[in-house]
Amino acid sequence: MTPVSSHPHGQSTLRTVQVLGGGNAASSAHVRSLAAGLVARGVRVTVCAPVEAERDYDFTGAGADHAQVPRGSDPSSVAALRAACADADLVHAHGLHASFRAALALSGRHIPLVVTWHGRTHAEGARARLVGMLERRVVRAAAVVLGTSSDLVDRARRRGARDARLAPAALPGVRSAPWDESDRAKLRAELGAIGRPLLLAVGPLERHRGYDVLLDAARVWRLLDAVPFVVVAGEGELRAALQRRIEEEQLPVRLLGRRDDVPELLSAADLVLLPSRWESRSVLAQEALHARVPLVASAVGGIPDLVGDAAELVPYGDAEALAAAVVRLLDDPGRREELRRGGERQAATWPTEDETVAQVLSVYDELTQPRPMI
């Protein structure tokens, strides 16, 4: 029987509030998984998030209460969050902006704040200085900062965190597409990859994702006998600029826009590419290894620790290294099979959802249980 977490004053239920801001897919899915696991252990959970996050992730379906709190840090949003946290024993905020709002809402209250950094905000110039100020404010307000990769833990410590710990989050709900060669061939034909290698990249079309490097590498692949075809699933501010360059340089790349069939795309792909400037615990990298698709990724952030030796890692921004790694893999079926087997082994070392919940709950208990009298 699953134990029920005890309240420090002898009550039977620990009351927690999970705070999401805009919430990227990884952090929102993590909160949904965490809420379900905590509720199953007898913890009362309220998720403070915009209404669209509840619609997409169904926190109430996981057994949590949902408090609609807008994304902004304006006084009305902070007041709504403060009201939602009024009877909490502990507040857990996910992401920088959600954590900043939680720190504001808890000002003057003796409620422990736990912060999880799932990633980092990409900013330059004056905005980067503002982000640094927010990070320092957040980590100093937090009783514990959890980082999903070791570089995020180091970053929190540099910002002044009193207690920063590694807490890799499980990838919830991994879905594998049924492996059917006829379906695979049909999808490859629809994408335009008949008789040629299919390379897949997934993620928002944003500067830090390294798509400019990917297009530079694609210029090299044009010279191969069987020209690899790159498809990119994602939408974003760079779409027009990337599309213009693809057309002007006649690159073998297709922008697919936003897709909801990533498992199917993975099953159709020969290689997965992750050329980002920085990643923490990349969802795409995890999905690729789970799906046994060889991965070529930038050796940045949390990627090396995440994938171990089960992927080809290249320096960020080095289009020649990216192109060469792809060519080597396409020419070496033995190495591709080695990476597939290595991916399965590496994925087996990642924490399960149950282990992730248990680690988080141990932090909660540490912060809310009464200390023994000396």
20-38 pLDDT, tens digit per residue, is: 976 677 889 999 999 999 9
224 and 151 housed in the same domain: no
Asked if residue 59 is part of any domain, the answer here is yes
Assess whether 120 and 259 both reside in one domain.
no
C-alpha pair distances (Å), 324 with each of 9, 224, 301: 62, 12, 22
Residue 204 and residue 321 share a domain:
yes
Alpha-carbon distance values, 182 to 185, 186, 190, 322 (Å): 5, 6, 12, 30
Residues 163 and 208 occupy one common structural domain = no
Token representation of residue 173: 């709900």
Same domain, 332 and 360: no
Asked whether residue 2 is assigned to any structural domain, the reply reads: no
- 331 lies in the same domain as 193: yes
Residue 5 is assigned to a structural domain of this protein: no
Helix axes 96-105, 75-84, angle to 10 degrees: 70
Q: Return the beta strands (E) in 134-250 as ranges.
A: 144-147, 164-166, 198-202, 229-233
% of the chain at pLDDT higher than 70: 93
Looking at the fold, whether 327 and 255 belong to one and the same domain comes out as yes
* Residue numbers in the chain where pLDDT is lower than 50: 1-11
Q: Please give the tally of structural domains in the chain.
A: 2
Question: Kind of pairing, strands 312-314 and 295-298?
Answer: parallel
Q: Supply the range of the domain harboring residue 267.
A: 181-347
Structure confidence at residue 176 (pLDDT): 59
Q: What is the pLDDT of residue 371?
A: 62
Q: What is the pLDDT of residues 219-266, one digit of tens each?
A: 999 888 889 999 999 999 999 999 999 999 999 999 999 998 999 999
Sheet holding 90-94, edge to edge: 65-68, 44-49, 15-20, 90-94, 113-117, 144-147, 164-166
Query: Is residue 202 located within the same domain as residue 342?
Result: yes
One domain for residues 222 and 342: yes
Same domain, 161 and 200: no
**In terms of domains, do 133 and 195 share one?**
no
Residues 228 and 298 in one domain: yes
* Domain presence at residue 10: no
308 domain residue, yes or no: yes
Residue 213, domain CATH? 3.40.50.2000
